[in-house]
Amino acid sequence: MSAAVVEEPGEGPSRSGLPPGPEARSGRLRQRLQQVGLLLDPLGTVAGRFARYGDLYHVASDDGGLWVARHPEHLREVLVTRASSYSKKHTGLRQLARVLGDGLLTSDGASWQRQRRMVQPAFGRARMEGYARVMTEEARAACGAWRPGERLELSHAMMELTLRVVARTLFGHDATGDIQAVSRAMKTFQAELSRPELLPPWVPSPGRWSLRRATETLDGVIRGMIAKRRGQRRDAEAPDLLGILLDARDTEGDGEGLTGTELRDQLVTLFLAGHETTSHALSWTFYLLSQNPSAERALHDELSQVLGGRAPTLSDLDALPYTEQVLKESLRLFPPVYLVIRQAVEETVLGGYRVPAGAEVALWVYHTHRDPRWYPDHGSYRPERFARGEEEKLPRMAWVPFGAGPRACIGRAFAMMEARLLLATIAQRYRLALVPGHAVEPLPRITLVPRHGLPMVPTPRA
């Protein structure tokens, strides 16, 4: 590999050539098959490649090549300092856009900026108190329905709970009647959207058929939500997210309004992005606590001392630092968004190498979070890593479960508040034990999910 240094005005030294990487497979089909091979064990394959080639490697392909990174400084270059050189319209996201359309998560440029401005007020501080009340109420109702000693599928239970929370807080909607349909649709999206497209787009297949059905189901739920709200009086003082978007729909024509498709895309995006990730964060947390009794004990002690059995409120959260550390450590080991991808829209520089326009860059958050350089004994669950005074020692961008830069998660504060309130409410009432002998393994799909689910048994705490 050539490593000659060339000067580039204003950019500092940049190396010519490409970073090291695996041999290129010639031909599109062979490349696709290579991807399928990768899909059998992506976490292991990528870890092996980082070990072999270093922090930044390159996989050649006919469509511009893939750059793969894990170093916090590389993540910063792509997401923060050179963010404007990249777009979100990469191959994987184009798949996701088949369901999400062109909402906040998938759009770019001026359209994204306008959408972000429009949605932001729904996540303002003023709204959080009301959201917090709904969150604890839903958590109490959910675990109130569990039967002590009876096995439950925790990932389903958490999905149902976070779906109900997002529906009530952001859309003022009771999702009871939609849970089964949305859960089935989510399963289809997870299965169909994370596999590479081997067939040309016009070839019908059972996968494509079920994807269309699942999208129609979701659209039906969203249409129902809109129709119900249209029949109600609007709260002009403090509209919720659905109210904000419906008002924007009604002002279409003055340049700032939303078309019907834009409204649909935004609602689907926030409905899905607003519950799926948080539910996995909680499921992984209860699993990790079940495997780490000393962390579980420390959590229970904090909850007993601060809350003494009562429901947590927003103002309790500052007094629950260990609860937050527990969640941060779970998000480190099992980040629901384990991989962030971008496509270069212009020639740029990464790690000193020139990246051509059109190249895709994959940032493996999962591997950044499991790097022993930043996290000694990286496989162990140690919430103390995030204690005050310790967390500050981590390199910048070594913990990025919510992304970074202009496209960082808009729901971060909402999600961290929700996760703490739900965890504090449930863990006060129950211990959850994994069904003995059940194998737990992370499966990287659209998000990082437990491959064989998480069957757990709740036992009431004394």
Residue among 306, 344, 398, 409 that touches ligand HEM (CB under 6 A): 409
Residue 376 Cβ, how far from ligand HEM at the closest point, in Å?
24
| Residues contacting residue 34 through CB under 8 Å, at least 6 positions apart | 25
Contacts with ligand HEM by CB under 6 A: the residue count is 24
Residue among 42, 172, 274, 444 that touches ligand HEM (CB under 6 A): 274
- 278 touches ligand HEM (CB under 6 A): yes
- 407 touches ligand HEM (CB under 6 A): yes
- 264 touches ligand HEM (CB under 6 A): no
In the chain, DSSP finds a helix count (H) and a strand count (E) of: 16, 14
The Cα 355–Cα 171 span in angstroms is 42
| Residues contacting residue 154 through CB under 8 Å, at least 6 positions apart | 283, 286, 287, 432, 453, 454, 455, 456
Nearer to ligand HEM, 215 or 277 (CB): 277
Nearer to ligand HEM, 70 or 407 (CB): 407
- 72 touches ligand HEM (CB under 6 A): no
Residue among 167, 270, 299, 398 that touches ligand HEM (CB under 6 A): 270
Nearer to ligand HEM, 31 or 269 (CB): 269
Nearer to ligand HEM, 18 or 331 (CB): 331
Nearer to ligand HEM, 31 or 136 (CB): 136
Residue among 336, 351, 450, 458 that touches ligand HEM (CB under 6 A): 336
The Cα 54–Cα 71 span in angstroms is 9
Q: Which long-range contacts (CB under 8 A, 24 or more apart) does 451-456 make?
A: 453/153, 453/154, 453/155, 453/156, 454/153, 454/154, 454/155, 454/283, 454/286, 454/287, 455/151, 455/152, 455/153, 455/154, 456/151, 456/152, 456/153, 456/154, 456/286, 456/287, 456/290, 456/432
To which residue do tokens 């048994």 refer? Answer: 457
Residues 166-195 within binding reach of ligand HEM (CB under 6 A): 166
Nearer to ligand HEM, 31 or 172 (CB): 172
Phi first, then psi: give them for residue 56, nearest 5 degrees. Answer: -135, 120
Residues engaged in binding ligand HEM (CB under 6 A)? 104-105, 116, 166, 269-270, 273-274, 277-278, 281, 336-337, 340, 401-403, 407-411, 414-415
